[in-house]
Amino acid sequence: MFREIKKKKLILDNRKPYAKETAEYIEEINLVDWIYTSMRLEGSAIGKTGVQRIIKGEFIVDASVSDHSTIGNYEDAVRLAYNMADMDVELTEKYLFLFYQILANPERPEYRRTNPVLVMLDYIPPHPSEIEEQMEILFHWMHTNDFDSNPILRAAYLHNKLVEIYPFETHSEAVARMAMYYELIRNGFPPVLLNLSESEYYAAIRSYLKKEEIQPLYEPLERGVYNKLEIMMQLTAIGD
């Protein structure tokens, strides 16, 4: 499928710049898909339409105040990610901490000091004393592996490796998803609607933690990219 994805991306690159209205619409659906996917995987019951309405500035009475606040935080984090991508910024510890600060608003921006049991993952992450070393290993890995020039596979691994380290007291999964999507957009791929339920998402991570299986996350991510590019092909073909 990745070969077909590269073909679609090449066609779409050749169609740029898109018409203003088309570009704005694609930007909107990408933002909604990015935020809605993360909200759903965090257990929020808010629907995709609800996310879209809140992004447009509405206050929805059947959505919690927490949902409104979380969506606003994600908007800020996504805006930062696109600004970084525009400047082709390499993802570093500094930017992971920025994502963490925006999403979690911690009292102090620091790595976790506790050693939690992650029930959803049936997993105990590295001791806090090991986090800095594990993060150094992760960034070295990022600089030395290209997975046969498949940024989607690299993004899936980056996500799972971050969850494996679980660097922050809270929101480690959210930061891992931000990193995964950033890897996509920096390489010219769109953020996607990840077709996994919350339980399927955690099962996919467990498969990696227990057996180093990347396919349970990679395949839905790859399919999501393919589907989004197909939508973009249809939208941008209107003016052809």
Is residue 184 over pLDDT 50? yes
**Residues 6 or more apart whose Cβ sits within 8 Å of residue 48:** 32, 36
Q: Do residues 190 and 155 lie in contact, with contact meaning Cβ atoms separated by under 8 Å?
A: no
- Between the alpha carbon of residue 56 and those of residues 42, 60, 187, 196, 201, the distances in Å are 22, 11, 27, 25, 28
Is residue 218 over pLDDT 70? yes
Is residue 207 over pLDDT 60? yes
Q: What local confidence, expressed as pLDDT, does residue 164 receive?
A: 98
Q: Indicate the pTM of the whole model.
A: 0.94
Is residue 107 over pLDDT 50? yes
Minimum mean pLDDT among 1-10, 136-145, 193-202, 216-225: which range?
Answer: 136-145
CATH class of 2-237: mainly alpha
Is residue 16 over pLDDT 70? yes
Q: What local confidence, expressed as pLDDT, does residue 51 receive?
A: 95
Q: Do residues 179 and 162 lie in contact, with contact meaning Cβ atoms separated by under 8 Å?
A: yes
Is residue 209 over pLDDT 70? yes
- Between the alpha carbon of residue 121 and those of residues 60, 201, 215, the distances in Å are 33, 10, 17
Percent of the chain with pLDDT over 70: 98
- Residue 149's pLDDT band (cuts 50, 70, 90): confident
Q: What local confidence, expressed as pLDDT, does residue 82 receive?
A: 97
The per-residue pLDDT for range 57-72, each reduced to its tens digit, is: 999 998 899 999 999 9
* Mean local confidence (pLDDT), 144-170: 91
**Taking the domains of the chain in order of start, what are their residue ranges?**
2-237
* Mean local confidence (pLDDT), 88-95: 94
Question: What is the sign of the dihedral through the CA atoms of 53, 9, 221 and 173?
Answer: negative
Comparing CA positions, the residue from 121, 125, 93, 122 lying closest to residue 112 is 125
**Alpha-carbon distance 85 to 27, whole Å?**
14
**Alpha-carbon distance 134 to 164, whole Å?**
10
- Average confidence score pLDDT of the chain: 94
**Alpha-carbon distance 25 to 11, whole Å?**
19
Start-to-end Cα distance in the chain: 25
Is residue 43 over pLDDT 70? yes
- Between the alpha carbon of residue 63 and those of residues 43, 171, 174, the distances in Å are 13, 21, 20
Q: Do residues 236 and 15 lie in contact, with contact meaning Cβ atoms separated by under 8 Å?
A: yes
**Alpha-carbon distance 179 to 156, whole Å?**
9
Q: What local confidence, expressed as pLDDT, does residue 238 receive?
A: 61
Is residue 227 over pLDDT 80? yes
